[in-house]
Amino acid sequence: MENGRIPRHVGIIMDGNGRWATARGKERSYGHRFGSENVSRIVEHAFNSGVYALTLYAFSSENWARPQKEVDELMKLLKTYIRKFAKKFQKSGVRLCVAGDKQGLSDELIQEINKVEEQTSSHGEHVLNIALNYGGRQEIVYAVNKLLEQGKNVTVDGILSNLYTANCGEPDLIVRTGGELRLSNFLLYQGAYSELYFTDVLWPDFDENEFDKALEEFGKRKRRFGKVQ
Ligand code: FPP
């Protein structure tokens, strides 16, 4: 599953953009802009550190309930960054996928997503999943329905192989920034045996050094997967 002591797949709940901006007397969207820049920095660092796959929680199924202005700003940022990543990953080995329900997103955003997913589908060095309009419970229902549509029995492995993250397996480590101690509907099924790492650091401040601290902590964990060692 993990490669030596480096987790193979890391999921990140990027929390704290709003508080980061408020602390500077700015609007929440200011924090989302810095948070987006930080995504580029951490993706690069994680892949350089030997992490194979990242799943980043960018927009949950529940985030639509935020003020329309903030939703619009986030959607705009996501479109911009998906475009940026498409360009950047064109000639690299990174496969970019969106994990979540594409229905409900704008046609323009769906087009961008389809384009980059197609462009990078054969890339095998790394996987970057952007969880967008994503909910862990909704994902389980989606996977079960896919099995039923195919006339298959519903099994643990069957569900796993129909989740959005089937492209990179179960997360070894789930990180949450911003001080809250919960999963907020993120990777509920595939995270059953993930190691959890929580930090008070707000997402825009979560730099390479903070990511390394999470890796270091992961390296100390004894993973038993329910067995005795
Ligand atoms: C949580 O902070 C963060 C989000 C809901 C959005 C995460 C989005 C990004 C980091 C930017 C776009 C992503 C990509 C992949 C380019 P919050 O707003 O809930 O902060 P708060 O808890 O301080 O209010």
The number of folded domains in the chain is 1
pLDDT, one tens digit per residue, over 175-222 is 999 999 999 999 999 999 999 999 999 999 999 999 999 999 999 998
> Atom 15, ligand 1: which residue's CA is nearest?
58
Per-residue pLDDT band at 4 (split at 50, 70, 90): low
Active site residue 101: no
**Which domain does 73 fall in, by range?**
2-134+170-219
| Ligand 1 center to 4 CA (angstroms) | 31
**Ligand 1 pocket mutation, candidates 14, 38, 56, 59, criterion most atoms within 8 A of CB:** 14
Is 152 part of a structural domain of the chain?
no
The one-letter amino acid at 213: K
Q: Which atom of ligand 1 is nearest to the CA of 35?
A: 10
Place of tokens 């999921």: 11
Instruction: State in Å, rounded, how far the first CA of the chain is from the last one.
Output: 17
| Ligand 1 center to 86 CA (angstroms) | 21
Is 73 part of a structural domain of the chain?
yes
Burial category of 186 from C-beta neighbours within 10 Å (exposed 0-12, middle 13-18, buried 19 and up)? buried
C-alpha–C-alpha distance, residues 201 and 15, integer Å: 9
pLDDT given at position 3: 52
Is 47 part of a structural domain of the chain?
yes
128: CATH: 3.40.1180.10
Is 52 part of a structural domain of the chain?
yes
Higher pLDDT, 224 or 167: 167
Q: What is the pTM of this model?
A: 0.96
Q: Return the percentage of the chain with pLDDT > 90, whole number.
A: 93
pLDDT given at position 226: 84
Active site residue 72: no
pLDDT, one tens digit per residue, over 99-134 is 999 998 999 999 999 999 999 999 999 999 999 999
